[in-house]
Amino acid sequence: MNGGLQTGPYGKPYGIAYVGDLGTLVVNRSGYEIYPEWDPTAEANKIEAKKTRRNDRIA
């Protein structure tokens, strides 16, 4: 918990991070970002990085 610290995950002011095997999903009211995990064997990201803002949502 970050109660009173005014900081959230990954340098955001608020939100929540879901950490998985392929990457981390950071979600807040303004949108989401996916931070992929690095695969050292393939020397590439395990998944594609994505970012969206609140106005980018599909209707």
pLDDT tens profile 5-35: 677 888 888 899 999 988 899 998 888 998 8
pLDDT at position 13: 84
Mean pLDDT calculated for residue range 42-57 = 74
Pick 35 or 56 by higher pLDDT. 35
Distance CA 12, CA 4 (A): 14
Q: Using one digit for the tens of pLDDT, what is the confidence trace for 34-44?
A: 888 888 787 77
pLDDT for the residue 19:
93
Residues whose CB is less than 8 angstroms from the CB of residue 8 and which lie 6 or more positions away in sequence, other chains included: 2, 14, 15, 16, 28
